[in-house]
């Protein structure tokens, strides 16, 4: 498995996202694990909602997950990628293309994203 440094030196999607995040956000945001975790959860919930998941099911899953022992972040990352690919397949979405489109869109919206980031309360899970 490549190290973090090796992954970020390549031209991989992950490395290109890192470039965008560093260009778009101040270190206090792009280097904040809690902030990145909240933004990931927000996007995952939005995908679940767009895929037909109900609020009740999402809340039930939150209770289920948090009643269990905490997992390993690397293993859970793999699980996220596998289940995202499976969900994308069943919906006829090419996840690689979707990621590229969103990354290109984000590069074109840096000023809007920065303004939204600046207006948010620090430390809040909510992206207001």
- Whether 124 is in a domain gets the answer no
Over residues 12-54, the pLDDT tens digits come to 999 999 999 999 988 887 788 998 899 999 999 999 999 999 9
Structural domain containing residue 88: 10-119
- Whether 126 is in a domain gets the answer no
Helix boundaries (H) for 2-109: 4-9, 13-24, 27-30, 33-50, 55-66, 73-91, 95-107
Measured CA to CA, the distance from residue 72 to residue 74 in angstroms comes to 6
- Whether 113 is in a domain gets the answer yes
Over residues 49-102, the pLDDT tens digits come to 999 999 999 999 999 999 999 999 999 999 999 999 999 999 999 999 999 999
- Whether 1 is in a domain gets the answer no
Report the domain count for the chain: 1
- Whether 69 is in a domain gets the answer yes
Measured CA to CA, the distance from residue 13 to residue 96 in angstroms comes to 9
- Whether 60 is in a domain gets the answer yes
Measured CA to CA, the distance from residue 39 to residue 21 in angstroms comes to 12
């Amino acid at each position: 498995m490549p190290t973090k440094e090796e992954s970020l030196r390549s031209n991989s999607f992950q490395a290109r996202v890192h470039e965008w995040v560093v260009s778009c956000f101040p270190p206090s945001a792009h280097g904040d694990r809690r902030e990145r975790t909240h933004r990931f959860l927000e996007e995952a919930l939005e995908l679940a909602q767009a895929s037909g998941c109900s609020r009740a099911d999402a809340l039930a899953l939150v209770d289920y997950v948090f009643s269990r022992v905490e997992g390993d972040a690397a293993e859970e990352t793999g699980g996220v990628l596998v289940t995202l690919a499976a969900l994308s397949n069943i919906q006829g979405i090419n996840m690689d293309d979707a990621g590229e489109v969103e990354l290109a869109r984000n590069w074109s919206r840096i000023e809007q994203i920065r303004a939204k980031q600046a207006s948010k309360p620090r430390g809040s899970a909510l992206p207001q």
